[in-house]
Amino acid sequence: MQGQLERKGMWAIITGASSGIGESMARELARDGVNLVLVARRLDRLQTLGAELKEKHQIESLAIDADLSLPNETKRVFERATANGRMIQVLINNAGIGTYGPFMHYELEQYSKTIQLNVTALTELTYYLVGHMQAHGKKSYISNVGSIASFLSVPYFSVYGATKHFVRDFTQTLNFELRKSNISVSLIAPGGTYSEFTEHSGQVLRKSAHGSMMTSELVAQIGMDRMFKGHRSIVPGFLNSLMVHFPRFLPVKWMLACNDLVMRMAVDYKK
C-alpha cells in the first residue's frame, strides 16, 4: 500500500500503448494513480484508453500518435511528453515489431523498420529520459521490454531475436552504470503472450503453443510489480524462467536445434 501511495501522481511514458502488453501496463499503472503519456500509431485507441482510465482512476493522460519505426519521431515524443513542466518518472519502452519465418521470406524494408523501432527508437528515448530524470532528481524507473528470445537464439526469428539481444545487453549494462543514481533500469523479457504481436509477426499458433502462452495482463502485473521493486531482469512465467537458463548448458549448435524443434512444434509461419 505504501508503494502505491508513493507512485500516485507520477508521470509515465508507455510506448506501444494501444494494445497488448503496453495497454495492460497502462491499466496497471493507472490503478496506482500514475498519470500516463500513451504513445502509439493509433490515436483513437490511445484517446479512448486515456479517457477510460481517467474516469476510472482519476488520473491525467496525454495521447501522442507516433510511428517510432520512422526516424526522428523520438525527439518529438520526448518534447511533447515533457512540455508544460511534466516530470517523467517512468519510461516503458514497450513498442516492438518482429517477423517469424525464413530470413528471405520478408522484404529488407521490414527488417530496417524492426531495427529502427526495437533498437534505435528505444535507445533514443532512453537517452532523452535518462538526462531528463537525472535533471529532476526524483526516484525514476525505466523498463525495456525484451523477449526470452534474447536469451535463446531462435531460428526464423533472426532479426527480431538479434534486436532483443541488444535490448537485453543495453538494459543490463545501463542498470549497472546507473546503480548509484536515482534511476532504476529493468529488463522485462516475456515469452509467448496473447497479443496482436503474434498475428503481426506472421506466427500461426499450433495447439501445443497454448500451454506456455501468458496473458498480457499477467505479464504487465508481474513486470510492473517487479520494476518498482528494482529487479534488474524480469522473466514472467515459471516455464519462461526455466527456458532462459538452458543456453548455459548446451553448445550453440545444440541450442539452435532444440529451439528450432520447440518452435516448429508450437508455431508455423504464414506462407
Neighbours of 43 (CB within 10 A): 14
Q: Among this protein's residues, is 160 annotated catalytic?
A: yes
Please classify residue 258 by burial: count the beta carbons closer than 10 Å to its beta carbon, then call 0-12 exposed, 13-18 middle and 19+ buried: middle
Catalytic residue among 100, 156, 160, 269: 160
Q: How far apart are CA 153 and CA 165, in angstroms?
A: 9
| CB contact at 8 A, 193 and 260 | no
Provide the Cα torsion 24, 25, 26, 30; round to 10°: 110
Neighbours of 208 (CB within 10 A): 11
Q: How far apart are CA 209 and CA 161, in angstroms?
A: 19
Beta bridge partners of 214: 193
Give the type of residue at 48: T
Q: How far apart are CA 97 and CA 186, in angstroms?
A: 20
Q: What angle do CA 185, 187, 193 make, to 5 degrees?
A: 145
The residues annotated with a catalytic role in the active site are 160
